[in-house]
Amino acid sequence: AQSVTQLDSHVSVSEGTPVLLRCNYSSSYSPSLFWYVQHPNKGLQLLLKYTSAATLVKGINGFEAEFKKSETSFHLTKPSAHMSDAAEYFCVVSVEYSSYKLIFGSGTRLLVRP
């Protein structure tokens, strides 16, 4: 069965410093992986997705993630945090052969200190 594990429930960074949100996946085949962001009282927004093309995926708002099969990881990074990045981030895996339903990780709350 497919699953994702987000290794940190909370991450706190200072504005202007790098962001690293960690995600490990488990899948018996080459998965499709996503990062979504959820701001308070707003809907989920897709940051980026990996679908077996380039292993380094660039997303919106300066975020990127690298798919590493040997480490079964898909960590999300950003060179310089902005106050507006404070939100909940979800690492997600798509379940193929099952209507492409999504399995969400437990989430990482990113706090950005001024």
Partner 1 sequence: GAVVSQHPSWVICKSGTSVKIECRSLDFQATTMFWYRQFPKQSLMLMATSNEGSKATYEQGVEKDKFLINHASLTLSTLTVTSAHPEDSSFYICSARDQSGGSYEQYFGPGTRLTVT
* Interface residues toward partner 1, by CB under 8 A: 36, 42-46, 49, 90, 99-107
Closest approach of partner 1 to the CB of residue 16, in Å: 27
The DSSP call for residue 98 is: T
Q: With respect to partner 1, which residue has the nearer C-beta, 37 or 112?
A: 37
- The CB-of-33 to partner 1 minimum distance in angstroms stands at 13
Burial class (CB in 10 A: 0-12, 13-18, 19+), 53: exposed
Helix (H, G, I), strand (E, B) or coil at 55: coil
Give me the least distance between CB of 25 and partner 1, in Å please: 15
Residue 110, burial from CB neighbour count under 10 angstroms (0-12, 13-18, 19+): buried
Tell me the three state secondary structure of residue 16: coil
Q: How far is the CB of 3 from partner 1 (least distance, A)?
A: 12
Nearer to partner 1, 34 or 67 (CB): 34
If the CB atoms of residues 3 and 84 are measured against partner 1, the closer one turns out to be 3
